[in-house]
Amino acid sequence: MALRTAIQGQEASFHDIAARQIYGENIDIVPCETFASTFAALSSGEADQAVVAIENSLFGSINEIYDLLLKHRFWICGEVYLRVEQCLIGLQGASLQKITEVHSHPVALAQCEDFLDKKLPQAKRFESHDTASSVVEVKQWGDPTKAAIGSAAAAKLHGLKILAREIETNKQNYTRFVVLQKNKKSIEGTDKTSLVLVTSHQPGSLHKALGVFAKRGINLSKLQSRPIIGQAWHYMFYVDVEVGNGTKLADSLADLKQQDCEATVLGSYKSGQKA
């Protein structure tokens, strides 16, 4: 039976491409309009798992995902890094010179700003909630002066024309996606763990907490601070450490507990390959 996989967006969106990069074609996509509705689909049982973008190499962390992770306490059981290649997509009879409108997600528009400034200075830019949905809208409008920014897969799926490929300004444009399940899942061969740390509000408390990992030779690959709601100027810290769910992690958690540092494990999983 195919896994029901919730994503923000629809078929041929970058979330869809990431999910299929992990699982192949043996999944049933549950499309959701927002990140909040994606988490809700997993919470309600409408989906068996979810794949969500958590950070981009150019634009940094997606803070909403971190807040939703803490709210729902879902288990991170995998990750994948996807090279984001943006295309300008239009109707079969469209030409680059006659485009007057470009539609896409605001991040995609920002990623392609140099191309739009140089090649389409006359075109107005319109934001939508998803790259794939903007491609669908261009098809529905049937207007050759309107174009969308999205994936090559979206153009192929909807029978549209790619007017320009790889239009993103920075070619080192990667998005990290994580796989979520409702309950904790034991996985063999894990080598990465995501945690939330809440330290005491004392000088040096974060340094002391991170020293727990340093003394065991455990590398940190991410450190992200977020405000604690209801406690002004107090912060929690999202940490990714390069260690799986073994003795080193267990000993580190025990040391953190002795320091009165509250540590919540969000998941242990196999790290994704960075191309």
Distance CA 132, CA 117 (A): 22
Q: Which of 186, 154, 165 is nearest to 31 (CA)?
A: 154
Is 199 a residue of the active site? no
Q: How far is CA 168 from CA 45, 78, 84, 120, 253, in A?
A: 37, 27, 8, 14, 42
Helices 205-214 & 247-258 angle (0-180, nearest 10): 160
Cross-strand partners of 238: 196, 224
Cross-strand partners of 224: 238
Secondary structure (3-state) at 72: helix
Sign of CA dihedral 211, 212, 217, 220: negative
Catalytic residue among 38, 175, 193, 199: 175
Catalytic residue among 177, 190, 193, 213: 177
- Residue 231 one-letter amino acid: Q
Element spanning 208, H or E: helix 205-214
Tell how far CA 36 is from the center of its chain.
13
Is 177 a residue of the active site? yes
What positions carry a catalytic annotation? 175, 177
